Structure 1
């Protein structure tokens, strides 16, 4: 299977938008924020100051993406990455592409001097939990909350 993992580029915005719609609305069943908000977010990531977005390309088509946001950990007294998004179209899940995208994020984190990479997944996403365990990840002891 031939594919490329690379940094997102401005020319990718329309296709990343489609993938993000599939991820947000199709997979997680959340409401769509709006194309304008998504485009602003992608543009912010293209600047690589607050985060970075990677895309997976196969035969000139984008088939997945991952987003790392940059923040800090008081416990480690250093910078960390948060893998906020990790998405591949259905046919590419449980394939070498999935492992390669994860390793790309992990390698980026290590190569750029971040203390660690962290992420969450939905409690019902057991397939993802199995994948992350296979990649050598440890489930943390923290309980996540959010408020709007």
Structure 2
């Protein structure tokens, strides 16, 4: 896994777009524009130590981009510690079942540990059973928390 660089954005964008399309279809939200997605990636490139990083997984033989993960740095009052939030994890359909998702999660865990984070946390859709099986396999602990969101522009 490599940390996304400016020169990776052209291969990262189709992966991020596919990721947003998946949640658009299952969650019924309007995805951001390509320009907004690229601006987000560039903001992370500008302040990786403060905001977070994106990781890119490539096929070692061909160099083809096969998946990505986004980690944001934050704090948890409940644990009184710095934590990492794996906000995004996506693997192309052709690479699913290959262990790539597990390797991306491990790379995120390693980055979180190196940053001094007490844990790596994430959420997924309640009906994303395939992802949940991966998360169970890597030793993730399920939570009973219910995720809410509130638009700030109402």
Both proteins in one fold, TM over 0.5:
yes
Instruction: For residue 124 of structure 1, give the secondary structure of its aligned residue in structure 2.
Output: coil
Asked if the contact 1:82/1:118 (under 8 Å) is kept, the reply is: yes
**Partners of 2:75 and 2:127 in 1: how far apart?**
28
Question: Per-residue deviation at 1:60?
Answer: 2.1
| Paired residue secondary structure (2:37) | helix
Task: Find out whether 1:24 has 2:25 as its counterpart.
Answer: no
Deviations 1:48-87 (A, max 9, x none): 0201000001112211100001111011222111100000
What is the alpha-carbon distance in structure 1 between the residues aligned to residue 83 and residue 117 of structure 2? 5
Question: Are the equivalent residues in 2 in contact too, given 1:94–1:131 (CA < 8 A)?
Answer: no
- The total of aligned residue pairs comes to 143
**Structure 1 runs not aligned, ≥5 long:** none
Residues 25-53 of structure 1: CA deviation (Å, up to 9, x unaligned): 1x112433112211110001113020100
> What is the rounded CA distance, in whole Å, between the counterparts of 1:147 and 1:28 in structure 2?
18
- In the other structure, the counterpart of 1:50 is 51
2:39 corresponds to 1:40:
yes
Which residues of structure 2 form unaligned runs of 5+? none
Q: Over aligned residue pairs, what C-alpha RMSD do you find?
A: 1.2
Q: TM-score, normalised by structure 2?
A: 0.88
Distance 1:32 1:141 in 2: 27
Give structure 1 regions of 4+ aligned residues with deviation exceeding 6 angstroms.
none
